[in-house]
């Protein structure tokens, strides 16, 4: 039914969902489950394995996803012992001339790799895949990146996603070879640099679901994983130095400078409005820059760009935005989780740039802290001295957010401004408790909370501040309360 060309799509979708549930419940079921659901016969199992790849090939995209999930379940329990010929079929698909057959092969390859992605001991299958199949997968990715159609971008993103899953728990020996690093690295860079037209007024985070942006995201994720797990000597655990030390030196010397250059170009294009990046990609780039801060040779290349990164990449993403305003009005609880207490928001660009700011201030304090504080002071002073019409409350929100992120560094005994913190709070934070902007009242409270151990010059001042905070328990806006 699923592969039939004569049946309507709705019927085939219903059949694919039934089939997926049947496989999930009964392919490898407990005795208790088999009492509730009938077992799958040996004949049906053989027929399923003989036809599932052809069914994936012949199906629509929605049904492909259902069948691919079934394939993953079957591989989990039957490969390699009860389905040793699967890799033979996989190799045939990846070398096919028909793009849809190649796409089917990539879908199947990803399911196979996911079977072993978190295994750190039994790496034989992943090593064999990297040796026998990945050279062809890299060629597929390189050709796909040069194209603009949706199928090509799906093939690129599946290729990069397979690569990332293959290196999740270990770096296969074939992928450590310089020739393979150059080949895959070139494909990643081409995808990240690939120009994509977009409408500045209309584009939003929904675009991140499109194949081209997914391909870019998986290329960035693959590069970041390579660097953070295997290619950064500063982050390499002592237990892995013998295993990956040579690769780390190779990566740092030959590939890290190129990818850093590309990321900085992407940031420059983004700040100029010439490049669009999803929130996830912005967060990933910030994570890569954080890793660069910690490594000596990378920091040497990154250091000249620090001021621009703080002003044009970190700061704008910490400012209150139009999307924040919509969230504030539509779902204030989620706003609090995202903007005021975002620690659990995995993949958030806000969290990533905050962490980058903290790494700059802590790990490269002598080179960056005065620059950062000078920038923040400039924003706060401009706001304080401006008239109501000229003041930008969104910018002040960003500056206070930066100060919030830096609270641990600035309240330490060695902080260069520890003595001026009471004046900072009284001049720039406490007055915003009465701001006409709800988001600024919320930000001021959050900032004050981080510096609440600061001692004010008199008990009277402390009491006044306490009364102001207490009064905001009755604020009309939930995030403030």
Q: What is the mean pLDDT of residues 7-19?
A: 88
pLDDT-derived band at 268, boundaries 50, 70, 90: very high
The pLDDT, as a whole number, for residue 345 is 63
pLDDT-derived band at 372, boundaries 50, 70, 90: very high
User: How does pLDDT run across 167-221, given as a tens digit for each residue?
Assistant: 999 999 999 999 999 999 999 999 999 999 999 889 999 999 999 999 999 999 9
pLDDT above 90 for 421 = yes
The pLDDT, as a whole number, for residue 157 is 97
pLDDT above 90 for 12 = no
Cβ-defined contacts of 226-233 (< 8 Å, 24+):
226/167, 226/171, 226/251, 227/251, 227/256, 227/259, 227/288, 227/291, 228/287, 228/288, 228/291, 229/167, 229/171, 230/167, 230/171, 231/255, 231/256, 232/256, 232/291, 232/294, 232/295, 232/298, 233/295
The pLDDT, as a whole number, for residue 360 is 97
pTM tops 0.85, yes or no? yes
Residue found under tokens 């209150």: 320
Q: What whole-number distance in Å separates Cα of residue 209 and Cα of residue 207?
A: 5
The pLDDT, as a whole number, for residue 28 is 84
Residues 33, 39 contacting (CB under 8 angstroms) = no
Helix axes 99-114, 134-145, angle to 10 degrees: 130
Helix H segments across 255-363? Answer: 256-271, 279-294, 296-302, 306-309, 315-318, 322-330, 332-335, 349-363
The pLDDT, as a whole number, for residue 400 is 97
pLDDT above 70 for 342 = no
The pLDDT, as a whole number, for residue 9 is 83
Mean pLDDT, the chain, as a whole number?
93
The pLDDT, as a whole number, for residue 410 is 94
């Amino acid at each position: 039914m699923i592969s039939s060309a004569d049946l309507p799509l709705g019927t085939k979708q219903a059949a694919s969902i039934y089939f997926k549930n049947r496989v999930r419940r009964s392919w490898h079921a407990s005795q208790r489950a088999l009492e509730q659901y009938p077992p799958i016969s040996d004949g049906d199992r053989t027929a399923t394995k003989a036809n599932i790849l052809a069914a994936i090939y012949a199906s629509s995209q929605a049904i492909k996803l259902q069948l691919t999930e079934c394939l993953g379940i079957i591989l989990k329990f039957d490969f390699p012992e009860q389905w040793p010929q699967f890799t033979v079929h996989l190799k045939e698909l990846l070398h096919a001339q028909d793009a849809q057959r190649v796409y089917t092969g990539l879908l199947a390859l990803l399911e196979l790799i996911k079977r072993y992605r978190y295994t750190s001991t039994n790496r034989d299958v992943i090593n064999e895949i990297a040796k026998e199949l990945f050279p062809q997968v890299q060629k597929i990715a390189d050709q796909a990146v040069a194209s603009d159609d949706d199928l090509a971008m799906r093939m690129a993103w599946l290729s990069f996603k397979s690569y990332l899953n293959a290196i999740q728990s270990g770096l296969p020996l074939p992928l450590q070879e310089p020739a393979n690093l150059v080949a895959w690295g070139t494909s990643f860079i081409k995808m990240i640099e690939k120009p994509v037209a977009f409408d500045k007024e209309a584009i939003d985070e929904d675009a991140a679901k499109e194949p081209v942006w997914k391909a870019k995201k998986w290329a960035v994720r693959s590069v970041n994983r390579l660097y953070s797990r295997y290619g950064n000597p500063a982050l390499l655990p002592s237990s892995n130095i013998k295993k990956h030390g040579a690769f780390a030196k190779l990566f740092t010397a030959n590939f890290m400078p190129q990818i850093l250059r590309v990321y900085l170009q992407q940031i420059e294009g983004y700040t100029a409005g010439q490049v669009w990046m999803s929130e996830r990609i912005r967060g990933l780039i910030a994570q890569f820059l954080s890793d660069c801060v910690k490594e000596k040779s990378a920091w040497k290349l990154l250091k000249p760009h620090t001021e621009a990164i703080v002003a044009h990449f970190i700061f704008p993403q910490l400012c209150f935005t139009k999307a924040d305003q919509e969230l504030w009005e539509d779902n204030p609880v989620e706003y609090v989780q995202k903007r005021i207490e975002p620690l659990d928001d995995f993949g958030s660009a806000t969290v990533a740039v905050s962490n980058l700011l903290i790494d700059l201030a802590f790990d490269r304090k002598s080179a960056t802290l005065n620059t950062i504080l000078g920038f923040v002071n400039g924003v706060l002073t401009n706001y304080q001295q401006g008239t109501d019409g000229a003041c930008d409350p969104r910018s002040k929100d960003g500056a206070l957010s930066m100060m919030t992120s830096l609270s641990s560094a600035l309240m330490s005994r060695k902080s260069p401004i520890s003595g001026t913190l009471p004046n900072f709070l009284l001049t720039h934070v406490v007055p915003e408790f009465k701001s006409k902007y709800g988001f600024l009242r919320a930000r001021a409270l959050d900032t004050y909370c981080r510096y609440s151990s600061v001692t004010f010059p008199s008990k009277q001042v402390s009491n006044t501040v306490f009364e102001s905070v207490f009064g905001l328990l009755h604020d009309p806006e939930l995030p403030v309360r």
